[in-house]
Amino acid sequence: MTCEEAIRYEDLYLDGEMAPEERLRMEAHLAACPSCRIQVTEWIRFRTLVRQRLGEVRAPSSLRESVVHRLRTHRAPGWRGTLALAASLVLVLPLGWVLWPRPDDLKPLEDHAVAAHLAVSGPEVQGDRATVVSFLQGRVPFPVRIPLPDQPGVRLLGARIARVGTRPAVVYLYDASGHPLSVTQYAPDGEDLPRSARIGQRDGLTVVTYPAEGLVQTVVGDLPESTVTGIVPASWRP
């Protein structure tokens, strides 16, 4: 896949609408091309930021449909900048919405965990706990710890090596009764290690962060808060 093709199909990739074989080609290109990888990462951050700032507020469906229609029918070479500008205008137009920060705003590194949950297409290594640990050991600069204990309805699918900001991390992928669940794990730096569990919401996703054995774990899933907190080890439940 060329850089031109990667840019052309970027929206399909981010929306999870690429065919499996094309997604593999896209991910192989992103792994080998820093320029395209940075662009995709920045676009994921932009989408995440929009969701954060909107919170529970939603524009009327008629306005959203009108904006989407205009953007789709007026795409030009600089359409991505137009889209970013349009999204920004929707956020700040005086339509009676006040976008104050919510009291449960996530920490910056948790934002990356949410972005990773949305972007990851599948595990880099599949198998049971022993297989995953064996693959990860030596590939990340911190002791590998499978984050969630074995429990009914929660099945480990595998893991991917990732980054939280500039830090190495592991994203563990689970199936929780048919719902995708991820746990982003990384070594803390000073104040990044929370003293107790904290919980937040982002665009229908429940986010729980807690410390365990000197590492930070951020659980992300579309299950209710009560279900996600019940999956977290009992010693760290909010």
Q: Do residues 183 and 230 share a domain? A: yes
Given a contact cutoff of 8 angstroms between Cβ atoms, the answer to whether 196 and 204 are in contact is no
Place of tokens 């049971």: 128
- Mean pLDDT over all residues of the chain? 76
Which of 40, 63, 92 lies at the terminal end of a domain, its last residue? 92
Do 104 and 201 touch, CB atoms closer than 8 A? yes
Number of domains comprising the chain? 2
CA atoms within 13 A on the CB side of 123: 20
Alpha-carbon span 18 to 8, nearest angstrom: 12
Backbone angles phi, psi at 68, to 5 degrees: -60, -40
Q: What percent of the chain has pLDDT over 90?
A: 24
Instruction: List, for residues 40-49, the tens digit of each pLDDT value.
Output: 777 776 666 6
**Strand, coil or helix: what is 192?**
helix
User: How does pLDDT run across 102-156, given as a tens digit for each residue?
Assistant: 334 446 678 888 888 888 778 899 999 999 999 999 899 999 889 998 899 999 9
Are 180 and 138 members of one domain? yes
In angstroms, the CA 161 to CA 28 distance is 14
Same domain, 118 and 143: yes
Q: What is the pTM of this model?
A: 0.57
Residue 18: partners with Cβ closer than 8 Å, 6 or more residues away: 9, 12, 26
Domain that holds residue 60: 3-92
Question: What is the residue type of 144?
Answer: V
Q: Say which residue the tokens 């990860």 belong to.
A: 136
Residue that is last in its domain, among 33, 63, 92: 92
> In angstroms, rounded to a whole number, what is the distance separating the alpha carbons of residues 102 and 160?
31
> Is it the case that residue 50 has pLDDT exceeding 60?
yes
Token duo for residue 23: 């997604």
Residue 144 lies in a domain: yes
Question: Could you give the C-alpha distances from 97 to 47, 63, 67, 100, in angstroms and in order?
Answer: 19, 14, 17, 9
Residue 156 lies in a domain: yes
Same domain assignment for residues 112 and 199: yes
Encode pLDDT of 21-31 as tens digits.
787 788 788 87
Q: How confident is the model at residue 173 (pLDDT cuts 50, 70, 90)?
A: very high
Q: Are residues 79 and 148 in the same domain?
A: no
Q: Both 31 and 84 in a single domain?
A: yes
pLDDT tens digits, residue range 193-230?
A: 677 788 888 777 899 998 888 899 999 999 998 899 88
Distances (CA, A) of 158 to 23, 30, 31, 148: 18, 21, 19, 12
**Is 73 exposed, middle or buried (CB count within 10 Å of its CB: 0-12, 13-18, 19+)?**
exposed
C-alpha to C-alpha distance for 174 and 183, rounded to whole angstroms:
8
Q: What is the DSSP string of 135-164?
A: HHBTTBSS-----S--BTTEEEEEEEEEEE
